[in-house]
Homo-oligomer: A and B are copies of this chain.
Amino acid sequence: MKITLDNMEDFARGAAFLGTGGGGDPYIGRMLAQNAIKEFGAPEVITADELADDAVVLTAAMLGSPPVLLEKACCGDDIDLAIRKLEEKLGRKADAILPIEIGGVNSTLPIMAAARLGLPVVDADGMGRAFPELQMVTFNVYGCSATPLVVTDEHLNSVLIEADSGQRAEGLVRAAAIQMGLSVMISSFPLNGRQVKDYAVHGTLSLALGIGIAIREGRTAGNPVEELVAYLKTTPYYNQAKILFDGKVTDLRRETTKGFAIGHCLMDALDGSGRQMEIIFQNEHLVARENGITKAIVPDLICMVDRETAEPIPVEHLRYGQRIKIIGTSAAPIMRTPEALQVFGPRIFGLNEDFIPIEQL
């Protein structure tokens, strides 16, 4: 697989779909990666299996509230600094850059970082989607430490954190991010190649690209949402895809609070049936309920797309009256284990229900 200037739009659009409402505006993410590729060349994309077991793999991500990223993007030096400071702490240079999440801007930011630093980027991530909190990744589920980690801002202030749990690290990172303006760069979860092979969700850069291509080709064919769902059904993780709802936004509450974009969105069905769907989000969509009945719930993916163009809609672009189709899909199997649900199952987000796979709902 190659990420180039030519397929960046497809890739960023697919990643925005996997962002499940969070992860930031794909336009911003695309611009950041495109500029880096123009200046430094496209980074090599390697599979996890190509990593040496003792390779040093560092993640590169934006952390904060996606709506803030619209106003305060990254400058490049900040993400370089986060990685360099983490290398300095580890006493070893990075061999590759890994996306911590494939959803949204955090799919393109590692490409930007890898291009700037002349490193390969790994075709894998820590969730196969996006999640709002630092500890919500497979690596944490399976015992890899989130720290040491480094947070930086555009003034090149930096914070190096060493904590005894992913949850504690999240608390410290979030507090620093709020002080730094709620859109910061972070390099966390320093991993070795073996850990990436064992615990990453593999091939997700390729899948994001595939999703973006399916949407584009569907537009040409005049049925982008159907093409998208058909493509998802062919994938190893997202094969339980279905259209959950076809409606328009009738109520929207969205606050930037506690360091997140938190709220809910209500939709009325367009078929005149009177059915209603409610989506609750914390950066990402957490649960979709039709007339109070759960239709999909984390860690399965709940994605909003424009009903005509299948354009993924991040939470910050939701508007009253928008016409939207809701697509639900299964998450990767490694994301649905009992241990994984202890870290990012429904109850972790304060939802008073257990996870039920979308194929059973």
Contacts and interface: CB of A to CB of B under 8 A. Distances in A.
Contact of A159 (B159, B178, B180): B159
Interface stretch (A163-171, A212-220, A292-300): A163-171
Interface size class, chain A: 10 to 19
Contact of A164 (B156, B164, B171, B176): B156
Contact of A172 (B162, B163, B179): B179
Contacts of A162: 157-159
Nearest to A159: B161
B168 A172 contact: no
**Interface of A: prevailing SS:** mixed
Contacts of A176: 159, 172, 175-176
A158 B156 CA distance: 20
A30 to B, nearest CB: 30
A160 interface: yes
Interface in A130-184: 155-164, 168, 171-172, 175-176, 178-180
A332 B115 CA distance: 54
A158 B155 contact: no
A159 B172 contact: yes
A157 B179 contact: no
Interface in A40-81: none
Contacts of A163: 157
A248 to B, nearest CB: 40
Contacts of A171: 179
Given A172-B176, A175-B178, A176-B176, A159 B160 contact: yes
A180 B168 CA distance: 9
B155 A164 contact: yes
Contacts of A157: 161-164, 168, 172
Interface string A16-47: 00000000000000000000000000000000
Nearest to A89: B160
Interface in A99-157: 155-157
Nearest to A162: B158
B164 A175 contact: no
- The 7 tightest CB contacts between A and B, nearest first, are A175-B175, A160-B160, A171-B179, A157-B163, A158-B162, A175-B179, A172-B179
Given A157-B163, A159-B172, 10 more contacts: A155-B168, A156-B164, A157-B161, A157-B164, A158-B162, A159-B160, A160-B161, A168-B179, A175-B179, A176-B176
10 contacts: A157-B161, A157-B162, A157-B163, A157-B168, A158-B161, A160-B160, A160-B161, A168-B179, A175-B178, A176-B176
